Amino acid sequence: MALMAGIAAAGPIVIKFSHVVAENTPKGLAANKFRDLVKERMGDKVVVEVYPSSQLFDDDKVLEAMMLGDVQMAAPSLSKFDRYTKSLQLFDLPFLFQDMGAVDRFQQSKEGQELLNSMRKKGFIGLGYIHNGLKQLSSSKPMRVPADAAGMKFRIMASNVLAAQFNAMKAIPLKKPFSEVFILLQTRAIDGQENTWSNIYSQKYFEVQPYITESNHGVLDYMVVTSTEFWNDLPDDIRTELKQILDEAIAYGNAIALEKDTEDKQKIIDSKRTQIITLTPEERTQWVEVMKPVWKQFEEEIGKDLIDAAYKANQAH
């Protein structure tokens, strides 16, 4: 507390918020909204600096940087916490959530909220979830059934569940940071990747990937995290106000996530740079059958009760 009083006397508290996506994405817009609302309401006390597009740190470095106090907030995808907790691997299980409504219901449930605290012992606090959307598969060759992916190299986020998912397809998964994906695709060093419409559009993957299979096989969502030490050291009134503003900014980003998903998909279609492959129910069943055994592989690490709770969220109230 004495330290904080010193910081306040010396000037505003600075929060560096680092992320990897473009500004015109649900996460980019939520982070900017947070910065703007803090400026409007807490101007002389707190300043938020947003660093988009991996300008400050890539996702494979940002959590270490947070531990060192070089960055105070980030919102990595839920797939990128593998090293800190096994519970969040839940979100990578293929075909777990039918739609983003189910993802949201689960995140707001008791179990979903508890997951925000799953890394406390490792020094991180989850402050909320930001949505992006369901993932599609882009590639250099058309893929209608999982056998079409055999032998192809796919970039994945640093998640063992995602590695297992591509191994199940007899494809070759390569863990690479987000900032390298475009160039890897462009130079054909890899054959494909999985991502949301928003990222496929804003990162221009559709310009270098001639095919996108609309698989909706997994979810890409984020957890806003801060370091336990930084958060707990904040004066109580500042912490409370920041949390309220962050909740508002997250609600803003989440309200436009679905809209952006549809809008960016349409822009990709309109570009005519890539062919979108729509699966028949029979083809989709093949993807489910090949990928779903991954659940069993990770059931012990993640916890069956947690998987059941998440699956239940598919039933709308």
Q: Residue 63 contacts by C-beta under 8 Å, 6 or more apart in sequence? A: 74, 76, 80, 81, 83, 84, 124, 225
Q: Interface residues for ligand SIN in 261-290 (CB under 6 A)?
A: none
Burial class from Cβ neighbours inside 10 Å (0-12, 13-18, 19+) for residue 61 reads: middle
Question: Do 137 and 287 contact (CB within 8 A), yes or no?
Answer: no
Member of 90, 130, 157, 225 binding ligand SIN (CB under 6 A): 157
- Closest residue to ligand SIN in the complex (CB): 178
- Residue 231 and residue 125: Cα distance in Å, rounded? 8
Query: Smallest Cα–Cα separation from 76: which of 194, 65, 110?
Result: 65
Helices (H), 43-82: 62-67
State in angstroms the smallest separation of the CB of 275 from ligand SIN.
22
Q: In angstroms, give the least distance from the CB of 176 to ligand SIN.
A: 9
Q: Which is nearer to ligand SIN, 46 or 257 (CB)?
A: 257
Should residue 103 be labelled a site residue for ligand SIN when binding is judged by CB under 6 A?
Answer: no
Q: Which two tokens stand for residue 200?
A: 């496929």
Give the number of residues in contact with ligand SIN, rule: CB under 6 A.
9
| Burial profile 161-176: b = 16 or more Cβ within 10 angstroms, e = fewer | bbbbbbebbebbbbeb
Smallest separation, CB 268 to ligand SIN (Å): 16
By C-beta, is 245 or 257 nearer to ligand SIN? 257
The least distance separating ligand SIN from the CB of residue 239, rounded to whole angstroms, comes to 25
CA 280 to centroid of chain Cα atoms: 28
Comparison of 77 and 226: residue with beta carbon closer to ligand SIN:
77
Q: Quick one: which of 89, 107, 165, 195 contacts ligand SIN (CB under 6 A)?
A: 195
Q: Of these, 54, 159, 199, 226, which contacts ligand SIN (CB under 6 A)?
A: 199
Return the number of the residue (155 or 284) whose C-beta is nearest ligand SIN.
155
Out of 13, 15, 20, 277, which residue is the one contacting ligand SIN (CB under 6 A)? 20
Tell me if 77 contacts ligand SIN by CB under 6 A.
Answer: yes
- Minimum gap (Å) between residue 59 Cβ and ligand SIN: 6
Binding pattern for the stretch 115-154 against ligand SIN, x by CB under 6 A and - elsewhere: -----------------x----------------------
CA distances from 304 to 37, 95, 203, 286 (A): 40, 16, 36, 24
CA distance linking residue 166 with residue 67, whole number of Å: 32
For residue 31, the minimal CB distance to ligand SIN (Å) is 11
d(CA 260, CA 253): 10
219 contributes a contact to ligand SIN by CB under 6 A: no
- Tell me if 178 contacts ligand SIN by CB under 6 A: yes
Cα 207 to Cα 61, 134, 202: the distances in Å are 28, 20, 11
> Is residue 296 classed exposed, middle or buried when 0-12, 13-18 and 19+ CB atoms within 10 A define those classes?
exposed
Is the CB of 27 or the CB of 284 nearer to ligand SIN?
A: 27
Query: Can you tell me the distance from the alpha carbon of 25 to that of 188, in angstroms, rounded to the nearest whole number?
Result: 26
Task: List contacts with ligand SIN (CB under 6 A).
Answer: 20-21, 77, 132, 157, 178, 195, 199, 220
